Structure 1
Amino acid sequence: MNVADLAAENLTRATAAGLDPHEYQRVTAELTSVDDWGQAFMRAARRHLVRAEQAASPISTGAHCQVAARWFHFATLGPYTDRETQAAAEAAAQSAAEADAAMRRALEILEPGARRLDGPAFAGWLRGPADAYATVVVVPGLDSGKEEFHAVTSALLRRGLAVFTMDGPGQGTLAATTTVRPDYHQVIGQVVDALGVDRVGLVGLSLGGYYVAESAAHEPRVVAATTVSGPFRLDWPALPPPLRNILTRRAGSTRAARDFADQVDLSALAPRIACPLLVVDGGQDDISGVTCGEPLARLAPRGEYLLVPYGDHLLGNAHADWLPAAADWMSEALGM
């Protein structure tokens, strides 16, 4: 993949996560090789940290730190090859750690009531009112993390919900020390215990959609769930090489990645999901080897399906068509 293709492929995802499209174009236009991606994005992140130090108000300082966290996160996203070097892995781990640190500083300034929660298999931030009527856990995907889905988190916070944005095994700040696992309900169980609540809603994005559906089938404290661009099934031999490379890195080996992919199949679990379930798909989200969410919505007893015909993967190009409706749906489902 050349520089222009890599930049174009990630444009919608980057802007949906809150990166300024003009700055994104400036940063990616300076790339001469896809191998420069991580360092270029880290330089952009550090420019925002400099702005944070020079800001005239705490609000501006916090805002710059928050933006820096997003740039640091996107520094971890590419490219992935089948000849992963130790230096590349170390750079990705450093970027994830700096994203985590920048977000910590941003929340300390902008939302001093935010609480950090860490466990053996998760790390994240609990935000929102202490007396919220319900709590939602936002679960990221294969190479995403808690610094990415600000629009989703903000939509839920505006509806008076408490929101826990997390990294799990193989994700975000935990990617360097843990690997992906298909039994994600074990992680969600730890999260709910740490939150100290008796029920939660879940929102899962990309592979996080599988994690959410798998958890809803096993964990009775999950009382509402939404998947966004989540896979119903993975077929390892048919997956595109870049996706297999990402999964290999996050699983720790090719064999572990193949075994993980073979277990991503909701055929038997979907009928066991007793809670309300909203499945959101984009009509332009067509990835070889990935079966999208329609069968999940059809097989789940209380499943609903929202298809946005022109939506891409994660529907970052169509927020107005699904995000307000999905946030309202979650709010109503948890308000019962």
Structure 2
Amino acid sequence: MSAAGFAADQWTRAVGAGVDPHEYRYVTGGLGSVADWGPAFVRAGHGHLRRAQDAGSSRSAGEHLLTAARWFHLATLAPYAEAHRAAAEADRALGRALAVLEPGARQVSGEGFTGWLRGPSDAPGTVVVVPGLNSAKEEFLDLVSVLLARGLAVFAMDGPGQGVLAATTTFVPDYERVVGRVVDALGVPHVGLVGLSLGGYFAARAAALEPRVAAAATVSGPFRLDWAELPRPIRELIAGRAGGTDAARRFVHQVDLTDLAPRITAPLLVVDGGRDVIPGVTDGEPLARLAPHGTHLSVPHGDHLLGNARSDWLPRLGDHFAHALGAGEHPCQNVC
């Protein structure tokens, strides 16, 4: 694929992750090939680190650090030999940004997970944000902001084979155990759980098997995967995160929510984009239909992760968790 074609394919994902669309066009417009993607995005991230250093206020510095974290993460979307270093830089930039902007944010790590807990200590509920195949906690900062604005606490995490942990760990089939350890570490009685892309499968599985999941949502999550039909780039991505082709085949074989969906007793919102059509991937409609309290929100013009249709689902997802976890309505919600 040409660099221009790859950049076009990633356009709504990158904008959905919060980077400036004009800067995105500037950075990707200078690419000679897809191989240039990673280095160019890392340079963009370093540019924002320099702006943070030269900023005239701590607020501006923190905002540049958040932007740097986004660029470093997006550097990992194309094949890149230094992807592990970019993921580590994204992790560091996010930590530095939160230290400036939200001194109360707390890093929480344990076996197979790491992330940041944000929001009020007396929040009525906590939502755990689970990334997918090649996403990470730095990609969904805007989603976190929507949940924080509704008075919830949020733990955005990297799990095994994800984000900063991708260099040292691989996917695990029993993600519910990871979520269980997260809930233990957070010290809360229950959580909401939202998973994006492959993280939607992780979240749905955990909602079926971890009784402390009190509300759940999936965004562009698969109901079932078929190895033989998956496009080659996706098979290669899964192999890289699962620990080889054989491990990837075994992992994909387990991605089937047919038997687990009826066991999800928590309120469940399933979000899909009508233009998100990937061979070998069954979307979330059967999940919503089989779950006792499932609701399917299909946005006809939405693509994968619905970065091109955020207003059609993101506020509703925030309200879903606010209502299910007892946050009620944010006092500014109807007037701001």
TM-score range, shorter chain: over 0.9
How far apart are the structure 2 equivalents of 1:182 and 1:276? 23
Alignment correspondent of 1:281: 272
- Structure 2 partner of 1:197: 188
Q: Does 1:297 align with 2:311?
A: no
- 2:107 matched to which residue of 1? 116
Check if 1:321 corresponds to 2:312.
Answer: yes
The 5 A counterparts of 1:1-336 are 1-79=1-79, 88-89=80-81, 91-335=82-326
Unaligned ranges ≥5, structure 2: 328-336
2:33 aligned partner, one-letter code: S
User: Quick one: distance in 2 between partners of 1:318 and 1:28?
Assistant: 22
CA RMSD, Structure 1 to Structure 2 (Å) = 0.8
Q: Which residue of 1 aligns with 2:330?
A: none
Aligned equivalents of 2:5 and 2:247: distance in 1? 29
TM-score, normalized by length of structure 1?
0.96
SS of the residue corresponding to residue 123 of structure 1 reads strand
> Shift of residue 120 of structure 1?
1.2
Deviation at 1:335, TM superposition (A): 0.9
Structure 1 Cα separation of the partners of residues 104 and 35 of structure 2:
39
SS at match of 1:166: strand
Distance 1:194 1:66 in 2: 25
Deviating above 4 A after TM superposition, structure 1's stretches of 4 or more consecutive aligned residues are none
Partner AA of 1:189 in structure 2: G
- Which amino acid is 1:144 matched to? S
Q: What corresponds to 1:85 in structure 2?
A: none
TM-score normalised by L of structure 2? 0.96
1:83 is aligned to: none
Gaps of 5+ in 1: 80-87
CA distance in 2, matches of 1:2, 1:262: 32
The amino acid across from 1:38 in the alignment is G
Deviation, 1:198, is 0.7
Structure 2 counterpart of 1:14, which letter?
A: A
Give the distance between the partners of 2:243 and 2:78, measured in 1 at CA. 17
Cα distance, 1:182 vs structure 2: 1.8
Q: Distance in 2 between matches of 1:200 and 1:181?
A: 21
